Structure 1
Amino acid sequence: MVRFEANEAAYNVIQAGKPSFETIKGNWQTTHFKNTLPITVELACGRGEFTVGLARAYADRNFIGVDIKGSRIWKGSTQAQEEGLNHVAFLRTQIQLLDQFFAPGEVDCFWITFPDPFPRDGDEKRRLTSPRFLDMYKQLLRPDGLIHFKTDNTGLFLYTEELLKERKDVELEAITYDFYASPYKEEHLGIKTRYEKIFSDKGETIKYLRFRFKSETE
């Protein structure tokens, strides 16, 4: 109860019941952050370790963590407030409704970090890298905007890689099946989510890829 009350009072939490929940689409920079910095969105952010970690490292960007679990968001929201990270916000909603909260071209970068793999064939549409989600991200990203994807799940990674290679509108810029043995690890500044730590401690190999959508002229 205390956590939900804290979320209600927190300026950096956008959720149902608050006026900004209905008006934030297209207005993140002007009405919430009150700056013109580019926006990075982490999907299924959980406790917000990665969102807050990136914000600590990059004061020249805005960061938004998205998750449906208010008890998880509370942790990241509280940390951001305690550290004075005013360029951090959290949106409590289902990710399939993302286009109700961001306008076309409003997002500079997406991070998809350790999502539920939904391994059954019948659950494909629920995967955050399935075609319907990719099409939505494409609409919300600015031209040349990037998507980063990290997972421990080999099945989900192979599914995503195959799907991206089949799409003519995608340019795959980076891929590794062993992130911590790759040159890309330095770009992530050692920031780990709670789940990443759990999987790494179990000896799971972390997979990573980065891609963008091509412009119509490419």
Structure 2
Amino acid sequence: MGRKKLERFKENEENRNVIQPGKEIYTTIKGTWKQGFFQNDNPIVVELACGRGEFAVGLARVNADKNFIGVDIKGSRIWKGSTMAIEENLLNVAFLRAQIEQLDQYFEPKEIDELWITFPDPRPKDRDEKRRLTSPRFLEMFKVLVKVEGTVHFKTDNTALYEYTLELLKSRPDTGVLKETPDFYASQWRDDHFGIKTRYEKMFSEKGEKIKYISFRFH
């Protein structure tokens, strides 16, 4: 392991806004995010597979009345977002180092007010369908964790994953699609996200890929 990565892991251990294995809070955070960690009653917004955290931090900058949590398993990635938040004194953003498959170990039912699924691995092979973050398996978990009528946002550059997700959502009686577009930046909602882009979104956009977007709710 490189020296730089070791230094980042060390800083993650010291940074209060990183919740990860080895810290006592890692096993007690479930159900206590608002009052215990953020010490307020603002809505909880979770971004899955947040990577370097630029999207979660960007949203936190312009939404002081919400609490943001980026989830990723890679400590070297969330170090970046954690460091940015500390440097900017953003107290309304944190990072959880955990597997998304185990999300229900860190949030109580209905504890999440809003959920973002940003540019997940499309898992194109049929045998990997259950690993897609918009598959029935994950939707069932999200339905438990997200507050009733809480909004779930999904963004991708992958046409097949977009079409798969849209078809699945429209086939489920317990979900209602609020917005959907195969070209977000040509849509009426292009300014809703304040121009904030993930690293992958910037990369795909620069290559000319159209960004697809869906928002939906569980009834």
* TM-score above 0.5, yes or no: yes
- Give the residue type in structure 2 aligned to 1:85: L
1:56-135 to 2 correspondences below 5 Å? 56-135=61-140
Residue 22 of structure 1 aligns with which residue? 27
State the AA in 2 paired with 1:89. A
State the match for 1:55 in structure 2: 60
Deviation at 1:30, TM superposition (A): 1.5
Q: Residue 183 of structure 1 aligns to a residue in which SS?
A: coil
Aligned with 1:10 (options 15, 39, 51): 15
Letter of the structure 2 residue corresponding to residue 180 of structure 1: Y
Structure 2 distance, partners of 1:69, 1:135, is 25
Counterpart of 1:150 (choices 134, 155, 158) is 155
Task: Supply the distance in 2 between the matched residues of 1:164 and 1:191 (Cα, whole angstroms).
Answer: 25
Deviations 1:128-150 (A, max 9, x none): 00001101111011111010000
Q: Report the CA distance between 1:70 and its aligned residue.
A: 0.4
Helix, strand or coil: the match of 2:51? coil
Q: What letter is aligned with 1:12? A: N
Q: Secondary structure at 1:186's aligned position in 2?
A: coil
Task: Compute the RMSD of aligned alpha carbons.
Answer: 0.5
Partner of 1:182: 187
Give the Å deviation of 1:204. Answer: 0.4
Alignment coverage as a number of residue pairs: 214
1:52 aligned partner, one-letter code: V
Residues of 1 paired with 2:61 and 2:92: CA distance?
10
TM-score in terms of structure 1 length = 0.97
Q: CA deviation at 1:156?
A: 0.6
Q: CA deviation at 1:24?
A: 0.4
- Identity, % of aligned positions: 64
Query: Which whole-Å CA distance do the structure 1 matches of 2:19 and 2:138 have between them?
Result: 22
What is the CA deviation profile of residues 47-87 of structure 1, one whole-angstrom value per residue up to 9, with x for unaligned ones? 00100000000000000000000000000000000001001
CA distance in 1, matches of 2:121, 2:133: 8
User: How far apart in 1 are the matches of 2:129 and 2:162?
Assistant: 13
Amino acid at match of 1:148: H
Question: What is the SS of the residue equivalent to 1:21?
Answer: helix
Superimposed CA distance per residue, residues 179-200 of structure 1 (whole angstroms, 9 cap, x where no aligned partner): 0000111100000011001100
Residue type at the aligned position of 1:200? S
Following superposition, the deviation at residue 174 of structure 1 comes to: 0.2
Shift, 1:36, TM fit: 0.5
**TM-score, normalised via structure 2 length:** 0.97
Q: Deviations over 1:14-45 (max 9, x none)?
A: 00110000000000012110111000000000
3-state SS, counterpart of residue 189 of structure 2: helix
